[in-house]
Amino acid sequence: EAASPPPAPVADKAGSEATAAAAAPVPVAAGEKKADDTAPVSAVAAQAAAPGPSVAAAAAPLDAMGPAGRTLGDTYNLDIASTAASGRDGRLTKGDVLTAIEAGTAKVKASAAAPAAAAVAAPAVSTRREERVRMTRLRQTIARRLKEAQNTAAMLTTFNDVDMTAVMAARVRYKDLFEKKHGVRLGLMSFFSQAVVLALRDVPAVGASVEGDEIVYRNYADLGIAVSSPGGLVVPVLRNADKLSFADTEKAIGDFGKRAQAGQLKIEELQGGNFTISNGGVFGSLMSTPILNTPQSGVLGLHRIEDRPVVRDGQIVIRPMMYLALSYDHRVVDGREAVTFLVRVKEAIEDPARLLIDL
């Protein structure tokens, strides 16, 4: 015989109508108490949704629960371990669960412990710094001149490589005698400055400059030699380089370097010049596109020497090679002239005897 549903649980006035409307009968097995026949679903749902206190008791073993009680507890996520059991051998019945729900003693299972929120570390004191430093007068001048070069010249760069075998052999062979006689080491810059002098004679356009609507050609070689200083790159001018010996050239360049480091170069030593040589190889540069030192129309970039495989007389051999870069003002210098100039420099370095007999 079907049992009549138990009375609906008492709710507060505001929620009584919603609770009564949502209640639904739940059939029970014969022989159970009438008060246990029906579960007020709204009350169960409300209890399941409400946050319940954490229960320390362990969950009851499965064999201590009746199947109906276990199913009902799982359905509403109830902590049935804390519910009083009235069945045989301490088994928890469906009626026990419904009784606990109606009495308001049923508890929702505690949610799995959420991982402890990582403590919010106080923001670390940043070690990142910025420093605003006013540009020195020298740096301002360098910046202005370089920007002028970009804005006024039609710059282009052509490249070549040069076999340094002959020059390096000459240095090894004569360095001791040279230093003993002249009191200065035999370096690479004297070879390149002499090679540039010869190339300028063959291709004077590379040493010319634009002034208004005129091109000014020069029959002398005042070579700017780029050297580093604590304040930046400076370019003192080697006057009348076409009239200087190897020893004179090495002495002058060595003196420029020392006085640049000491900040003792004079303003007039940095003015003028009709061509520049810049040796980025001392810093390890493999290749670059040097920027013009306006109003000059040409600058030669030297780079590091490294052993590379090359073909000589049909054989692959290892030679000390250097890349050369010539940046030039295309308003004055045509491509043919630029390439010819660089080839002349290459030929003089690969066969230094040309420097002695003016070839």
**Catalytic center residues:** 330, 334
293 with 299: CB under 8 angstroms?
Answer: yes
Mark 102-128 as b/e (b = at least 16 C-beta within 10 Å). Answer: beeebbbbeeeeeeeeeeeeeeeeeee
Tokens of 205: 């356009």
Phi-psi region of 74 (alpha: psi -120 to 50; beta: other; left: phi over 0): alpha
- SS3 readout for 15-45: HHHHHHHHCCCCCCCCCCCHHHCCCCHHHHH
Residue 159 is classified by DSSP as E
Write the CB contacts of 343 (distance below 8 Å, at least 6 apart in sequence): 160
How far apart are the C-alpha atoms of 251 and 190, rounded to whole Å?
Answer: 10
Cα distance between residue 279 and residue 273, in whole Å: 17
Question: Are the C-beta atoms of 342 and 196 separated by less than 8 Å?
Answer: no
**Cα separations (Å) of 191 from 197, 241, 258, 339, 350?**
10, 12, 20, 19, 10
Cα 119 to its chain centre, rounded Å, is: 32
Count CB-CB contacts under 10 A for residue 201. Answer: 14
Cα gap 100→51, rounded to integer Å: 17
